[in-house]
Amino acid sequence: MEVYKSLLEGNKLWVQEKLGEDPDFFNKLSQGQSPQILWIGCSDSRVPANEITRTQPGEIFVHRNIANMVVHTDMNMLSVLDYAVNVLKVRHVIVCGHYGCGGVQAAMGSQQFGLIDNWLRNIKDVYRIYSNELDAIEDDQARFDRFVELNVMEQVFDLTKTSIIQNAWRDRNLPIVHGWVYSLKTGIINDLGVSFDRSSQLASIYQINAKKVELT
Ligand code: CO
């Protein structure tokens, strides 16, 4: 069978399964969504947000791109973030990277891949920030793993720098922003223990909660 046909077959079986568990499953979902989580993850096919967290449709609002990046000029990311925070009013934003991330690995090297090099450059900037720590790690695998973690932490910082997050903190003390890393080898998610829920946690240069200044 052509692989795409197996997807359609799979869909039919999934519908039967869901209806078997709850005949009202699709009726309820069609009424609307109120997810409490925004997930920013990698596009990697091995890291499906719902499956690895055992959550159901309707529970997580998802944005994925190569290497789970928060790039401030990315209108796609900003739109997802603004909608999730200001319309859906999610309580948590999770940046979830993964060990063995091909995007992060590519950013560690100097090989050209094409257009994507310009996207990977954002990850190289993270390496530059932490180059002292990373260069001191002799083991290649350990350095790669640490770079994945630092990249997630930096994307968490990048979220907190946005007016979208800081205005939400000022107005409703939410969302809490978290950094996680998933292991392809074990299936376990490692909570990096970085979480932010107020502007005072940021370096003062990034705090934008003060009253707007009239420009003259
Ligand atoms: Co990846």
Has 92 been annotated as catalytic? no
Please say if the pLDDT value at position 1 is more than 90: no
pTM, full prediction: 0.94
What integer is the mean pLDDT of 81-99? 98
Has 101 been annotated as catalytic? yes
At residue 108, the pLDDT reads: 96
User: What is the per-residue pLDDT across 67-84, written as a single tens digit (0 to 9) for each?
Assistant: 999 999 999 999 999 999
Out of 63, 96, 98, 178, the active site residue is: 98
Domains annotated on the chain, with CATH: 1-32 (no CATH), 33-198 (3.40.1050.10)
Has 46 been annotated as catalytic? yes
How far lies 171's CA from each of 149, 155, 165, 174, in Å? 30, 23, 10, 8
Q: Considering only CA atoms, give the Rg of the chain.
A: 19
At residue 216, the pLDDT reads: 67
Confidence of residue 213 (pLDDT cuts 50, 70, 90): low
User: What is the per-residue pLDDT across 149-170, written as a single tens digit (0 to 9) for each?
Assistant: 999 999 999 999 999 999 999 9
Ligand 1: centre distance to CA 17 (Å): 30
What integer is the mean pLDDT of 91-119? 97
Ligand 1: centre distance to CA 23 (Å): 36
